Structure 1
């Protein structure tokens, strides 16, 4: 695996791969890699791509400067993991390379509607930062395929809408959430958890599963959410949000919509975020209603 730090070096390497007839697969990350990130590399390799990963802790998507400063930077370990996974090229730019004119003068990409609510409410400006840096990375790498984890469900929806609206020639591929044996969604932020908090953390996934089961059994949406919020608190987590939305459009849903004229095999997504110690955890479960939960 080759590591480059400038856009010029990146473009030279990608151009050579494309001229050799290879499909370019891209995995953007902020580093501090775990099994979930590596599953994206594995998927790109399975698709027979020349696989490019990026590691860039993007300041534009942090609304809290303290959160930005404490985000783990683990480049040497990340390089070892990527090389072991068969990644072909790593792009690891610094802030000046990505924002040569400064962040205050950077053009911002705003994706309406799907960026609103959920994490968009909890982290103002976050998705503007995500869509801006991803659009820049897409223009730098010019990938055929880009791979993202389904754990960040709203982020994937934002990127898909951005790609469609701006006619970007990129196929966005969502890869199932990687989980620990107890169900906790793998995240770089799990490292903020104490040993005791780590034992409590799977409670978010359990709570989302309970909402999904209750909905499939005909419970009203409002009742499911109310009960779930109470159980989440009993499990030691402080709810940020618990919501059920349309899996394709990410539009909010009501009990009336779910109980009248519901199409057969209607797909919804149960999304949740909760605070535990100094960590903020997010997760989601996709559910097909009018069909038994497996």
Structure 2
């Protein structure tokens, strides 16, 4: 059974000291659980470590705003950075044994170049179509973290469901002995999916954004009896009356992530939505019964 006794959290700021720590854990045959983050932590991140604590001797977090997964330099510049608050949240949680906060040179010693991956086509759907090269950036940084942390288990939220499927494929392509766990979306009281970007919403925008989750629940009800094209029309009509931009809405097969025009028995489907509220881009999804 994993050791549930948590000592004071250790913080590492460079690859060399962190690598020594990992080597000691491996020598002691400790089971390592890992969930990487880009900081600006919230309860959704903490839920990853709650899940990790159940199955591992050691739980490790990382904080690194990855430059290669941003297509828009302005988005990278505006991404919230709250390192001191994040370290306090992780320590107060009593769930995390160590947090790794590397510099860019620790992750990209040869310069910030994205590797190119073949993820079987799922990288070209949805977010991949909207943000060219994004998932190569995700794959590059996650592969490097996996090689440095050497986890037995890794945890990712289902809010970024396409990213979760990409990382499952990454482990398969690279033949890494890591089990990937998807953790359910953590939501605010009104249903808005927790995201680091939410802190950029005004109070009125945050309240208005609850329509995203309400709409997804309507979609789940409609999916039982209404054609998918009609569902799309209904969703578009809902957002045409709101002071926000519906960037895209679609229903896709959970394995291929390809948009579906009709549903088939024996397949699992999920609704995906992206809405721009002011200058904040919000993404959400829901498994369809």
Q: TM-score range by the shorter chain?
A: over 0.9
Identify the match of residue 163 of structure 2 among 140, 145, 155. 155
Provide the rounded CA distance (Å) in 2 between the counterparts of 1:58 and 1:227.
37
Larger deviation, residues 13-22 vs 151-160: 13-22
Alignment counterpart, residue 121 of structure 2, candidates 113, 118, 130: 113
Q: Which residue among 247, 256, 261 is the counterpart of 1:240?
A: 247
Contact 1:61-1:127 at 8 Å conserved across structures: yes
1:213 maps to which of 217, 221, 229:
221
What SS class does the counterpart of residue 44 from structure 2 fall into? helix
Q: Match of 2:268, SS?
A: strand
Q: CA RMSD in A?
A: 1.4
Would you say 1:18 and 2:26 are equivalent positions? Answer: yes
CA displacement at 1:110 relative to structure 2: 4.7
**Residue 192 of structure 1: CA displacement?**
1.2
What is the count of residue pairs matched by the alignment? 280
| 1:137 matches 2:145 | yes
Q: Quick one: distance in 2 between partners of 1:68 and 1:27? A: 21
Match of 2:110 in 1: 101
CA distance in 2: counterparts of 1:49 and 1:154, whole angstroms: 29
Q: Which residue of 1 aligns with 2:236?
A: 229
Q: CA deviation at 1:139?
A: 0.7
Aligned equivalents of 2:110 and 2:166: distance in 1?
25
**TM-score computed with the length of structure 2 as normaliser:** 0.93
Deviations 1:32-68 (CA, angstroms, capped at 9, x unpaired): 1000000001111122330111100000000011111
Return 5+ residue gaps in structure 1 as ranges. 289-294
Name the counterpart of 1:200. 208
Contact 2:125 2:257 in 1 (8 A): no
Q: Deviations over 1:214-240 (max 9, x none)?
A: 111x10100101111110232332111
SS at structure 1 position matched to 2:169: helix
* Correspondence 1:15-54 to 2 at 5 A: 15-54=23-62
**Could you tell me how far 1:103 is from its partner in structure 2?**
1.3
Match of 2:101 among 92, 104, 109: 92
Give yes or no for the alignment of 1:286 onto 2:284: no
Aligned residues of 2:115 and 2:139 also touching (Cα < 8 A):
no
Are the aligned partners of 1:207 and 1:232 in contact in 2 as well (CA < 8 Å)?
no
| Secondary structure of 1:36 counterpart | helix
Q: Which residue of 2 aligns with 1:276?
A: 277
Residue 6 of structure 2 is matched in structure 1 by none
Secondary structure of 1:100's match? coil
| Aligned equivalents of 1:136, 1:197: Cα separation in 2 | 37
Tell me the residue number matched to 1:292: none
